[in-house]
Amino acid sequence: MSSPLRILISGRQGQVAQALQHSLKDLGELIVLSREQLDLSEPASIRKVVRHVRPDLIVNAAAHTAVDQAESEPELAYAINAISPGVFAEEAAALGIPFIHYSTDYVFDGSKDGAWVERDTPNPLGVYGSSKLAGEQAIAAAGGQYLVLRTSWVYSLIGRNFLLTMQRLLQEREKLTLVADQIGAPTWAGTIAQSTRALIERWRDGKPGAWGVYHMTASGETSWFGFAQAIGQELIKAGKPCAILEPISSSAYPTPATRPLNSRLDCSRLQREWGVTQPDWHDAMLECLAQQR
């Protein structure tokens, strides 16, 4: 029987951290810290906490994820998304323990025709993507055992996300327009947590794959319009009101931050190296919604 692990998780209130607490609860002791307990804008705070806790593993589930807001507060975005991951990685390397960090499809500019692979050259379009890329680079520079897991379009049943916003708006309005030319994979926070557990178990059992950067999203693809359609179909099945949906282009819905049109990530390397596969995005959405009833 494996020894219990002492796992430090940041971002206590976030979607992924909440899901991790459920998925990892029987692996050992989870030290899950909020922003009040762990100030990610202060490197000294991070170092102090890690050295006090002395975990067997660090999972950084915290991030500045307000994509449009990041355009107007780049210093805070870089402090949380770029500097703090590097500090975590340095402390993990000093302890000789693995560090798991979540990144994003926004490190790419969306111009590729097919799905993005890990070796493709990043070219972020805005502050959020640039800050997350800088975080990846800082982690790599620390030189320890790390997994940077790029994911996309994260949602869950808590916090602010597309799924919950659409459920509300579709029932409040008669008609709704959604962007139909941005393509990617909606990824349930529960899927991210389950996959993270599988990676941790592989490492714990002495059978890790190669460390480095990996893509980890649900399989399949859709648009924001298609995602909203799927959410609406479930509302209708439940006998609830649902607005009429109309597709529009990104150019018809300008935002402070430019979004990549193609956010499809090829996750085959994660399967080859670590034996971890991802469910279809629609199946995962249904699993998520089943927990809401």
CA angle (57 as vertex; 56, 58 as ends), nearest 5: 140
Enter the tokens of residue 138. Answer: 């800082």
- Residue range(s) defining the domain that contains residue 27: 5-161+186-220+264-280
How many whole angstroms separate alpha carbon 79 and alpha carbon 185? Answer: 28
Per-residue pLDDT of the chain (293 residues), as tens digits, is 578 999 999 999 999 999 999 999 999 999 999 988 998 999 999 999 999 999 999 999 999 888 989 999 999 999 999 999 999 999 999 999 999 999 999 999 999 999 999 999 999 999 999 999 999 999 999 999 999 999 999 999 998 999 999 999 999 999 999 999 999 999 999 999 999 999 999 999 999 999 999 999 999 999 999 999 999 999 999 999 999 999 999 999 888 988 999 999 999 999 999 999 999 999 999 999 999 87
Residue 80 within any structural domain of the chain: yes
Amino acid at 149: L
- Give the CB-side neighbour count of residue 70, counting CA atoms within 13 A: 23
Residues whose CB falls within 8 Å of the CB of residue 239, separated by 6 or more in sequence, listed in order: none
Residues whose CB falls within 8 Å of the CB of residue 183, separated by 6 or more in sequence, listed in order: 221, 222, 223, 261, 262, 263, 264
Residue 129 within any structural domain of the chain: yes
pTM, entire model: 0.95
Residue 191 within any structural domain of the chain: yes
Residue 252 within any structural domain of the chain: no
Residue 35 within any structural domain of the chain: yes
Residue 90 within any structural domain of the chain: yes
Dihedral of CA atoms 286, 219, 191, 165 in degrees, nearest 10, equals -60
Residue 250 within any structural domain of the chain: no
Q: Which of 78, 102, 106, 128 is catalytic?
A: 128
In this structure, what CATH number is given to the domain that contains residue 271? 3.40.50.720
Read off the pLDDT of residues 62-103 as tens digits, 9 standing for 90 and up. 998 889 899 999 999 999 999 999 999 999 999 999 999 999
Read off the pLDDT of residues 153-195 as tens digits, 9 standing for 90 and up. 999 999 899 999 999 999 999 999 999 999 999 999 999 999 9
Phi-psi region of 144 (alpha: psi -120 to 50; beta: other; left: phi over 0): beta
Count of structural domains, the chain: 1
Q: Is 253 a catalytic residue?
A: no
Number of helices followed by number of strands (H, E) in the chain: 11, 12
Residue 138 within any structural domain of the chain: yes
